[in-house]
């Protein structure tokens, strides 16, 4: 279906692809992965361009139809279903030709009908309605004008249009970014049964494990295609790295052996020929290079001071924006320290309304909100990306938080957010989406909140950054409220689900697998739900009783509570270690200072004893850190027994 040969792509002085090669066969579902900025979206654009204008480096099967979501459905007055059908340009053109005046010839009409039959155009309206429903539109929405919907919803409609046209090569660039968890679950199920080839860029691990048959990784300016999902690729990459390390160690030992022979015998006439032979062997030996792993800057949420439970309570609350027209009614929820809650429910049902009301960013229409004295809420929303001052750099934003902070500490705080020297001075307007998310989360963390409220924090983050966020959330000792379409993030961080649906918010007695099955079994699912269930059965994963899952969540919360004091031991040990290290550095600087040395042996002895005590303190702090870290790992993994 698609073949890439010796493709080199440059962006200015930067090389994105360097002689890359890859081949994708008919019917494969391929996940294109790679860090942000490596050129994934650029590659998709080149493939789309090659379909229209032949490129010797990119070959697509002759006659294949290519489909991608390039822009949202137009904001016209046409009913939504008609606007979706209009995105299939070939079908729309053929239909218009049938209705044209004068009427085409009989031969042309026959040819048009034959082509429409191949495209299955007559069932397209029914498919469009089913796909729109699966992606979250209500039945009543289908007849509404396309222009009545926001840009995000029109992007969903554009996705439905591409799916309706059933292209031979379906190209999707981060399709879950504008979907809720329910829409993402539906799309995963649909892609598994899609009858043609799929190439999808995604940072959603669940999609990459549930929906693809192969992974194409953009690594070190090359393309690598491997069978299996993301988890399989991770395991294979680890094996390859270990094998490469072993080969490199063996080669270095061989080099050392050859060099030793050369050094010993090159000056001896009787061994000169053998020495020259080994010199040539060294010159011909190709050096094995182990690629350096790019480190992802960690996220870090500083632990706040402890507060008594509850942190926040809503009682009989009416939530919304217009008096007399609540979005959610009779809401009664409680948030305690150490709570880890993922909020699920279709888009438009009130998830954001709920968290804004808990934070106090939205006044209640009725009922009561009670907050613990001194509680600080850290709220992140995708909408805040537009609130950054486009002309101010990350360093400027950090400086605005505390203008009296010494400049060195301002730079250190900016670097801790993941912004090196160059990026620290870059205006926000020139930062990528992922970098803006990092900046906002860093500014949020600077307030040391007791509660993290994260509303879709991952849409602009790559997989490694999402993993870093998971670690930061799990290390955070406060409470977490999470809204996300990333199932992996929710599963890795949350113990409890709140379901927001039909004007109500309540705890959901089940896990994300249960909720996903509920979504697919609803009228969103249809055939996709049946296929998803069949796949789950084939994989042999029996459902666990709800009681078992509830017990697991309680045990996880208890483990985290038990680990909290150990985490504080780790942090105290880190502070003691750093204090001792700084003291040792100051003493050593004094011992090198001629002015101090001139004070005589007594002063030197005093400083030497002080340095010895600091070294002992540093060693004790390191020992405490190691012991506490090991205990923390056992407690959080559930292996303390």
pLDDT value of residue 539: 38
Q: Is residue 2 over pLDDT 80?
A: yes
> For residue 634, is pLDDT > 90?
no
pLDDT category, 542, cuts 50, 70, 90?
A: very low
Looking at the chain, the whole-number percentage of residues with pLDDT higher than 70 is: 85
pLDDT, position 605: 86
Contact by Cβ (8 Å): 344, 181:
yes
Least confident of 106-110, 129-133, 551-555: 551-555
Lowest average pLDDT, out of 81-85, 260-264, 385-389, 472-476, goes to 260-264
Going by DSSP bridges, is the β-strand pair 496-501/504-508 parallel, antiparallel, or unpaired?
antiparallel
pLDDT tens digits for range 584-625: 888 888 888 888 888 888 888 888 888 888 888 888 887 887
Rounded percentage of the chain residues whose pLDDT exceeds 90: 13
The residue with tokens 């050859």 is 258
Let me know: does 463 contact 203? Beta carbons within 8 Å.
yes
Residue 267 — pLDDT band, cuts 50, 70, 90? low
pLDDT in tens, 498-525: 999 889 998 888 777 778 777 776 655 4
**Cβ pair 159, 175 in contact under 8 A:** yes
What pLDDT is recorded for position 263? 73
- Does pLDDT of 46 surpass 70? yes
- How far apart CA 200 and CA 213 sit, in angstroms, is 11
Q: Which pair of structure tokens corresponds to residue 201?
A: 């860029």
What average pLDDT does range 385-395 have in this prediction?
82
Alpha-carbon separation of residue 35 from 66, 68, 210, 296, 445 (angstroms): 25, 21, 20, 10, 24
Structure confidence by residue, pLDDT tens digits, 394-444: 898 888 888 888 888 888 888 888 888 778 888 888 888 888 888 888 888
Measured between alpha carbons, how far is 635 from 561 in angstroms, rounded to an integer? 9
pTM for the whole structure: 0.65
Residues 474, 477, 481, CA angle at the centre, nearest 5°?
70
In the chain, % helix, strand, coil (3-state, to 5) comes to 50, 15, 30
- DSSP SS3 for 80: helix
Whose structure tokens read 């190439």?
A: 199
Q: If we measure between CA atoms, which residue out of 490, 528, 556 comes closest to residue 351?
A: 490
What is the structure's pLDDT at 287? 64
Confidence grade of residue 640 (pLDDT, cut at 50, 70, 90): very low
Residue 481 pLDDT: 94
Span 222-250, pLDDT tens digits: 898 989 888 888 887 777 667 666 777 77
Mean predicted confidence (pLDDT) in 251-274:
68
| Per-residue pLDDT reduced to its tens digit, 131-177 | 888 888 888 888 888 888 887 788 888 888 888 888 889 999 888 88
């Amino acid at each position: 279906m698609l073949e890439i040969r010796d493709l080199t792509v440059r962006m200015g002085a930067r090389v994105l692809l360097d002689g890359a090669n890859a081949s994708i066969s008919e019917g494969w579902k391929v996940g294109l992965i790679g860090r942000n900025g490596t050129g994934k979206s650029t590659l998709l654009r080149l493939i789309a361009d090659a379909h229209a204008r032949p490129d010797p480096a990119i070959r697509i099967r002759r006659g294949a139809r290519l489909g991608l979501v390039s822009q949202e459905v137009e904001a016209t007055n046409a009913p939504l279903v008609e606007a979706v059908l209009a995105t299939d340009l070939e079908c729309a053109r053929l239909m218009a030709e049938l209705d044209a005046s004068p009427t085409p010839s009989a031969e042309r009409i026959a040819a048009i009908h034959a082509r429409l039959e191949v495209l299955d155009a007559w069932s397209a309206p029914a498919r469009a309605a089913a796909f729109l429903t699966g992606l979250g539109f209500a039945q009543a929405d289908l007849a509404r004008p396309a222009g009545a919907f926001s840009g995000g919803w029109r992007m969903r409609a554009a996705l439905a249009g591409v799916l309706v046209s059933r292209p031979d090569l379906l190209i999707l660039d981060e399709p879950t970014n504008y979907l809720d968890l329910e829409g993402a679950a539906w799309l995963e199920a649909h892609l598994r049964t899609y009858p043609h080839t799929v190439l999808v860029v995604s940072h959603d691990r669940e999609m990459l494990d549930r929906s693809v048959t192969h992974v194409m990784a953009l690594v070190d300016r090359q393309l690598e295609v491997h069978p299996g999902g993301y988890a399989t690729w991770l395991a294979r990459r680890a094996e390859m790295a270990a094998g490469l390390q072993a080969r490199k160690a063996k080669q270095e030992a061989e080099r050392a052996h050859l060099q030793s022979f050369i050094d010993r015998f090159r000056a001896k006439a009787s061994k000169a020929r053998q020495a020259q032979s080994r010199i040539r062997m060294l010159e011909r030996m190709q050096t094995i290079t182990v690629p350096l792993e790019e480190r992802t800057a960690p996220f870090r949420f500083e632990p706040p001071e402890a507060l008594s439970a509850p942190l926040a309570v809503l009682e009989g609350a009416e939530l919304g924006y217009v008096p007399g027209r609540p979005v959610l009614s009779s809401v009664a929820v409680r948030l305690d320290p150490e709570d880890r809650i993922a909020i699920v429910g279709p888009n438009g049902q009130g998830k954001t309304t709920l968290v804004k009301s808990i934070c106090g960013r939205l006044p209640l229409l009725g009922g009561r909100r009670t907050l613990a004295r001194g509680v600080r809420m850290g709220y992140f929303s995708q909408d805040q990306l537009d609130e950054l001052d486009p002309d101010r750099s990350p360093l400027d934003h950090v400086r605005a938080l505390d203008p009296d902070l010494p400049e060195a500490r301002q730079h250190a705080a900016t670097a801790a957010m993941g912004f090196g020297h160059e990026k620290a001075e870059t205006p926000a307007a020139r930062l990528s989406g992922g970098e803006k998310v990092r900046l906002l989360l860093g500014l949020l963390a600077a307030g040391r909140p007791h509660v993290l409220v994260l509303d879709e924090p991952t849409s602009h983050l790559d997989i490694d950054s999402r993993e870093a966020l998971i670690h930061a959330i799990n290390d955070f000792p406060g409470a977490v409220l999470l809204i996300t379409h990333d199932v992996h993030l929710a599963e890795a961080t949350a113990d409890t689900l709140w379901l927001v649906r039909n004007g109500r918010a309540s705890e959901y007695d089940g896990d994300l697998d249960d909720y996903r099955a509920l979504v697919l079994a609803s009228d969103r699912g249809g055939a996709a739900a049946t296929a998803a269930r069949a796949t789950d059965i084939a994989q042999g994963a029996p459902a666990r009783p709800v009681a078992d899952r509830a017990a697991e969540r309680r045990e996880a919360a208890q483990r985290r509570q038990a680990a909290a004091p150990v985490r504080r031991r780790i942090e105290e040990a880190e502070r003691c270690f750093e204090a001792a290290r700084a003291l040792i550095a100051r003493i050593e600087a004094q011992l090198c200072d001629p002015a101090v040395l001139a004070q005589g042996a007594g002063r030197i002895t005093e400083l030497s004893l002080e340095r010895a005590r600091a070294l002992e303190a540093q060693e004790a702090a390191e020992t405490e850190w190691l012991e506490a870290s090991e205990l923390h790992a056992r407690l959080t993994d559930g292996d303390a027994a």
